[in-house]
Structures are given as C-alpha cells and as structure tokens.
A and B are shown apart, each in its own frame.
Chain A
Amino acid sequence: MSIWQQLRAGVRSLLLHKLRSALAVLGILIGVTAVIWLVAMGEGVAIQAQRQIEALGATSIIVRSIKPPSDPNEKASDGFGIAYGLLRADEDRIRTNVPGLVRAVPLRQISREVRCGERALDGVVIGCTPDYFAANKLAIARGRGLSDHDLDRCDNVVVLAHEVAERLFPIDDPLGAAVLVGQEFYVVVGVAAPRTAAAAIGGSLAARQFDRDVYLPLSTFRARIGDRIVAEQQGSWTAETVELDQITVVLADLARVPATADMIRDLLKRYHKTEDYAVVVPQELLEQAKTVRMMFNVLLLVIAGISLLVGGIGIMNIMLATVTERTREIGIRRALGATRGEIIRQFLCETIVLSGAGGLLGVAAGFLCRPAVALALRGVESLLPRVWAALPPDIRGLDPPLVPWSIAVAFAISVGLGIVFGLYPARRAAALDPIEALRHE
C-alpha cells in the first residue's frame, strides 16, 4: 500500500468514531495553538519593550534628581528648606566633559494649576529647552515649539500638550490666548501633537504621561517660578531648592553608552556630597527586562509543552482503545499477509493523521491570535475600564505577531507527538498473536 492509500485508509478508520477522533484532534489542536499563541505573546511583549527603549532612546542616559531621605539636622542649606539634586553647573560639566555628546536636555518640572477663564486643570509644568521636543519625539501640531529666542528673552510663552489644549480650549483657538499657570499669565504659542505614554521598563522608570504637560522655556521657569518651591504640608511649610530635575544625555554611539554612564557617575560624585541624583541607562534596563522576559518565555514554553504532552497522552489513550477494539481486524490483516511492521505502519498512520489534523487546525487557530488579542483588549477597554487602566502599557499595546518558526515547530512537534505516542499502541497491535486476535470477541 502506498503511503497515500494508507493515509486515506487511516482517515476512514478514524471516521468510524468521529467524536472520539475529534476529541483526540482537539487535544493536539489546543497544544499547537498554545505554542503558537504563547510564542506570539512573548514576541509581542518583546516588541513592546523594544519600542519603550526606542522611545526613551537607546543611546540616552538619564540623570535625575533624587530627594535624599529627610534628615532635619543636616543639609539645611539656606536655613530654610533643603536643597538637593542636579545643578546647572552639572549640566555644563556634562556638556564640556562628555565626548560624543549629541545633546544634553535639562528640564525642570512642577505641578501647577493651569487655568483659562472658568476652565482649569492640574497641569505638569515643564521647563525645558527646544531640544526637549526632539528628544521626546514630541511633534508640534499647531503654532510653533519653543525657540532659543524664547529662552534668551525669558518670554512668558507656553506650548500646551494636545489634551491640555483640548480641555482648556474646547471651542476657541488656543494660539495667541493667555493661560494662567500658577500665578502668571503665559501666551500660548503652540500645541503639541498627541503622544502616548512612554511605558515603564523593569519598574525603574515610571511610565511617563504627556497628557497634562505645559511647556515653558527653562529660563522663564527659573525667572517666574524659581528654584525654590515652597509648599504647605500638614500645616507646616516646607521648601525645596532644586535647580534641575533631569538631564537627558544623548550620545551618538550606542557602544559608548555604558562607559559614558560610568563617567557621568564619577563626574557627579566629585561635586555631590550625597547621592541626590540617579543615573539611569535605558540600555541596562533593557538587559534586565530581557532576562525577565526570557524567564517569562521559558514559563510559556513549559505551559505549551504541558498542553502538547496532554494532547499526546489523549492520542495514545484513544489509539490504545482503538487497538483493543480492532483486535480482530488486526488478526484478519495478519492472516491475510500483513507483517508486524505493516500493522505498526497502519496504526502509526492513523495517529499521524490525528495529530497532523490537530497540528493543521492548531496552526489555523494560531493565525487567530492577533485578532483575538485585539478583540480581547478592546473588550476589556470598553467593558472594564478600571481593569484597563490598571493594565501595564505593555499589555495594553500588545500586538502579538505570528512567528513563522513557531508554526513550523508546533506542527512538527504535533506530528512527532503522534509518532511518539502512537508507537506504543501500534507496537501492541503488532505484537498480538494472529490466532488470538482472530479469536477475539
């Protein structure tokens, strides 16, 4: 019998017990689908992480101010409140000392009410340089961005984030209008394009939302708001003096990132008595995230492997039942000239048909991964907005791509499982004594 005829004969025998065969196929289908889906998910998460790094800039080093643990006896710099964090001098030192620097982007940040007439919101006031927009991939949708000219003149100009402009100016044109930021009026010169949040990586960098931002020239920030921020806390007044909240250092060469980060650490250490700053390297975070992701992937593969194993056991179970049930058929075939090998081949063919069908259907179901995930995410977004808000951005933006090798591997594994788990029942069938088998029932 040719292999083709044998496969056809296998299909016919399996169709004698449609439900039973369908269940065996289902077991393999689930296993194969699990492999493809889980690999796709892992890949989707990896792509998300890669995107975050790109958003932060793989060649950037982020230096930020950190408030030291409060120690009332020490560090009372001006006799009133504490001073900590990065200094404007640090920015200059970095600019002059770091080789291969593309740009250093300083910023200052504070929460203030932003108001226009009756409409107001709690905004995040960012004092920055024109570079900031390029460094954060923020496009200007209308008007203009901040210019060096604005910085030189300490003008009271502001660029609004897209969402802020929408909230404050639902009807009117924001350009040229005056908004109240804290106690001062500023003229709106531009509106940024919408920008999705930059996700957090490995927990070390908080997700950065852009939807409440208003951007001032850094020099204006210093002139109008100042370094010292006084706040009322539980009835007592506290003051903090911070010159810069963050300096984003962008290098030309990716390979120089780790060495440069070390160099900046050394540089800052020389001028800061306490560690009131942190040097964060997205590249390093990416490495950490990679290890976490690898463990995640191993876990996924273990789960997929278990489901394949269960599917294989299902096939074996069904083939053992089939062999018992068709003992007489085996006897007949043996009497009519079938060797043991031919009996083995016959039953192996049947298991391969089962597992192959499961594999093919599993691959078909694998193609549904992307639309299914999209549908599920959209369902959560509209039906369970709270759950949605709590989801990490990695998951919210998940778009699992079909990984070609996973299809090939999953299908090959399914057929391999058919052979492995079919071999024992087939050998049992072949080991039957023809006379005993003919006498069966």
Chain B
Amino acid sequence: MSEPAAVAQGADVVASIRDVSKLYRLEGQEVRALDRVSLDLRRGDFVAIMGSSGSGKSTLLNVLGCLDRPTSGSYVLAGRDVARLDDAALSRVRGRTLGFVFQSYNLIPQLSVVENIALPLAYRPRQPGDHGRCLALARLVGLADRLGHRPTQLSGGQQQRVAIARALVNNPALILADEPTGNLDTATSHEIMDMLAALNRAGRTIVLVTHEPDIAARARRVVRLRDGRIESVTENPADDRESHTGDS
C-alpha cells in the first residue's frame, strides 16, 4: 500500500508539510482528523482540496493556515518551521504571510468595506502607502464605489470580493480559502473563481477547499482526502481550466 505523494523538490516551495497528523480526543475516543499527510505547495500553485464530509479538509487548511498545530509532523512555511511556534508567533505568521477567505465571508459588521480590507494591517507596523494599497485592492475587486458601505449593505458575492481584497492586503505568500463559494450561486461562484484564477495567473499561491467538481476543475491540481489521508493528487489540463474564464 503506497501512499500517493504530493512532495516536490526545489527552492520554489512556499509551504511544505511532512507526515502531519492531527488527533482529536473525544470522550476517550481518538479521532485521527489527519493521518501522516505530506504536501508541497510551489510558488504559483493552485490546489483544490476535495473529499467527503469529515475527511479532514478543514483540518488540513487550519494547519496550513497556522490556526492549528499538528499533533505530529513538520510544517515549513516560507522557509520557516512553524509547527512548534507559540500562539503569539503563529498570530504574527498569519498576519504577515497568509491570506484567508472563508465560506461565510467573515467581514466585521461595524467596519466599512475599506476598513475591512485594511484589517490585517492593524496587526503589523504601519507602512506608508497602506491606505493607497487598500483603495487599489478595492478597485481590483470592483468595489471602488462602495468603500464606505457596511458588509450588510453588500451582496454575498460582493462581500466575498471584499474578503479576497482583505486576503491580499498583506501581500501573503499563501492564500487559503475554505469553501469560498459554498454560500454563493453558480454564476457568482464562477465570478469568484475567475478572480482567484486571475490572481493565480498573476503569481499567487492558492489553496481552496471545495465540494464542487466544477470549482475544483478551475485549480491546477486537485488533492483528494479520505479519512484524513491523501487519496489522490491529479493535475488539471490547462485548457480545462481556461474554459470558464470570463475576465481578462
């Protein structure tokens, strides 16, 4: 029984996990949410993680996102071993090298669009041009005319675009998206995917979790999980990915 490896060599590796396991203990019973998972993400990678419910997709993404520490195994992110960092250091890593997009957008309701975009900047030293950067990102996601709006005044697709702009504001090495289209209709889902694909073509490294095959088809690679293990890794043909693209 040989495990399909998703391990690559080279200096271009942004994130690399090796033999990562995550155990949860519930009422004396052990749940192995991740079981010796190894995965390398190269610069410019676009990986879709699929798998049935409870297969460990979110757990893997949380480990990649430094929100959770693996029970065992190693994790090197942007050249730094982050598997054993303490809470404060992990917070700093999240704020400076990662971008998050969530299924339920997770914007802060009392903040305006531009303030939500700027939120990650609040947790690192201020730099000149921060504000201009937020405005440019708002323009990039097509919300330049909604800067002062509150999240509740926006549609789901618009909120998710604000979230994408927010995920970009700290110029992250890796963008993590847990079912970013899970709350959206098909047309809006593809708009969001168009945006992520365009970002990937511009060089961003993206990992997303999805249940929908046509969303996964837009990624470069698809990682399938089952019971906390990597079941398969497949490459998507290039023309397949381009077929849905609606923007430039």
Contact = CB atoms under 8 A, between A and B. Distances in A.
B67 A337 contact: no
B157 interface: no
A333 B106 contact: no
Interface string B74-105: 00000000000001100110111000101000
B65 A335 contact: yes
Contact of B106 (A332, A337, A338, A342): A332
A342 B65 contact: no
Interface string B102-122: 100011111100000001101
Nearest to B178: A438
A338 B102 contact: no
Contacts of B68: 435
Contacts of A5: 122
Q: Is the interface of A mostly helix, strand, loop or mixed?
A: helix
Interface string A335-370: 111111110000000000000000000000000000
B62 interface: yes
B110 A337 contact: no
A438 B87 contact: no
A335 B109 CA distance: 16
A392 to B, nearest CB: 55
Given A335-B67, A339-B123, A435-B67, A12 B110 contact: yes
Contact of B123 (A16, A338, A434, A438): A338
A13 B111 CA distance: 9
A222 interface: no
A337 B96 contact: yes
A339 B62 CA distance: 17
A383 to B, nearest CB: 49
Nearest to A343: B91
A333 B166 CA distance: 12
B94 A335 contact: yes
B124 interface: yes
Interface in B128-156: none
B182 to A, nearest CB: 14
Contact of B95 (A338, A340, A435): A338
Given A337-B123, A339-B123, A328 B91 contact: no
Nearest to A346: B122
Interface of A: 1, 5, 12-13, 16, 328-329, 331-342, 434-435, 438
25 contacts: A12-B111, A329-B108, A329-B109, A332-B107, A332-B108, A333-B108, A334-B67, A334-B91, A335-B65, A335-B67, A335-B106, A336-B95, A336-B119, A336-B123, A337-B95, A337-B96, A337-B123, A337-B124, A338-B95, A339-B88, A340-B87, A341-B88, A342-B123, A435-B62, A438-B102
Give the interface residue-count category, chain B.
20 to 34
B94 A16 contact: no
Contact of B91 (A13, A329, A337, A435): A337
Contacts of B102: 438
- Of the listed residues B62, B88, B94, B107, the one surrounded by the most CB atoms of chain A closer than 10 A to its CB is B94
Contacts of A338: 91, 95, 122-123
A337 B120 contact: yes
A434 B119 CA distance: 16
Contacts of B109: 16, 329
Contacts of A339: 87-88, 91-92, 123
A291 to B, nearest CB: 55
| Most B-side CB within 10 Å, residue of A16, A332, A334 | A332
Contacts of B106: 328, 331-332, 335, 438
A248 B12 CA distance: 104
